[in-house]
């Protein structure tokens, strides 16, 4: 029971979604393609990095492993062009939903020592995959480089938890806006996501759930505008709401 947004409605592009996931990610998982120093296939190796990455201009991803990490030794022996690598990130809803995974992002490419940044590693992207509840999408690395994170990406978690913890009445009123579009029997509704275009709610049932996306009457550029947009949703004419 999932409600897929109509492509005609304003929403983040897949490239913007990936940039937003990266912007707020605190941790990531790195898998190095199995390759021995001589170039022969070898076993894959996985590493978890917590707070060990930065995202630069055009989405360039740089990893900063601890100095005592085995990764440093791994790259001392690496071939000149670097190693095949995959970076995986999981986007988790900040509210206490049953199924909190909102998206999974995989970035594949070559990982090599970053020039002029001792101990850091840069990922040269060749492939990007975005998996959400509505399916899997390949994102063009060029589109990714040109995209920007949603302006609310870094403040989204605070806004959603504030809405859930302090304004459950507003959440209930937003669910009422959906009216006949929601199947009967909603057990609980919680804020799921927020971007400059809309707020999304997860409506949970005894079994399963559906996601409801409520379009703002305008575009929110920051946290205070997002709060205003949520309030304006509740006073706007009913005909402007979509999911």
The answer to whether 121 and 111 have CB atoms below 8 angstroms apart is yes
What's the chain's length in residues? 243
Do 14-146 and 156-240 show the same overall fold? no
Q: What is the mean pLDDT of the chain?
A: 88
Q: Is the pLDDT of residue 4 over 70?
A: no
The class level of CATH for 156-240 reads alpha beta
Q: Which two tokens stand for residue 100?
A: 């909190």
Q: How far apart are CA 151 and CA 131, in angstroms?
A: 21
Taking a C-beta distance cutoff of 8 angstroms, is the pair 72, 65 a contact?
A: yes
For residue 38, the model assigns a pLDDT of 55
The answer, yes or no, to whether residue 35 has pLDDT greater than 60, is: no
Q: Structural domain boundaries of the chain?
A: 14-146, 156-240
| C-beta neighbour count of 7 within 10 angstroms | 6
Q: What digits encode the pLDDT tens for the residues 83-120?
A: 999 999 999 999 999 899 999 999 999 999 998 888 89
Predicted structure pTM score: 0.87
Domain 14-146, CATH homologous superfamily name and number: Electron Transport, Fmn-binding Protein; Chain A (2.30.110.10)
The string over 9-48, giving b where at least 16 C-beta atoms fall within 10 Å of a residue's C-beta and e elsewhere, is eebbebbbbbbbbbebbeebebbbeebeeeeeeeeebebe
What is the torsion angle, in degrees rounded to the nearest 10, for the CA atoms of residue 32, residue 36, residue 40 and residue 42?
A: -60
Rounded average pLDDT over 130-141: 96
What pLDDT sits at residue 239?
47
Question: What does the pLDDT read at residue 5?
Answer: 45
pLDDT confidence of residue 11:
84
Axis crossing angle, helix 168-178 with helix 223-233, rounded to the nearest 10: 50
Tokens 């996985």 belong to residue: 46
């Amino acid at each position: 029971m999932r409600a897929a947004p109509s492509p005609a409605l304003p929403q983040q592009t897949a490239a913007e979604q990936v940039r937003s996931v990266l912007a707020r990610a605190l941790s990531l998982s790195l898998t190095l393609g199995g390759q021995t120093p001589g170039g022969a296939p070898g076993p894959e190796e996985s590493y978890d990095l917590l707070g060990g990455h930065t995202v630069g201009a055009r989405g360039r991803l740089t990893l900063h492993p601890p100095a005592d990490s085995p990764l440093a030794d791994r790259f001392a022996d690496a071939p000149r062009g670097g190693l095949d690598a995959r970076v995986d990130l999981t986007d988790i809803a900040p509210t206490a939903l049953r199924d909190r995974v909102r998206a999974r992002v995989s970035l594949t490419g070559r990982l090599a020592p970053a020039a002029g940044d001792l101990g850091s590693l840069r990922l040269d992207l060749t492939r990007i995959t975005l998996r959400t509840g509505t399916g899997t999408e390949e994102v063009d690395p060029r589109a990714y480089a040109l995209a920007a994170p949603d302006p609310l990406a870094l403040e989204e978690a605070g806004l959603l938890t504030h809405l859930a913890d302090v304004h459950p009445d507003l959440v209930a009123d937003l669910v009422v806006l959906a009216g006949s579009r929601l199947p009967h029997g909603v057990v609980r509704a919680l804020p799921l996501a927020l971007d400059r275009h809309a707020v999304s709610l997860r409506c949970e049932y005894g079994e399963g759930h559906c996601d409801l996306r409520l379009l703002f009457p305008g575009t929110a550029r920051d946290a205070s505008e997002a709060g205003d947009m949520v309030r304006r949703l509740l006073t706007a004419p009913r005909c402007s709401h979509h999911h």
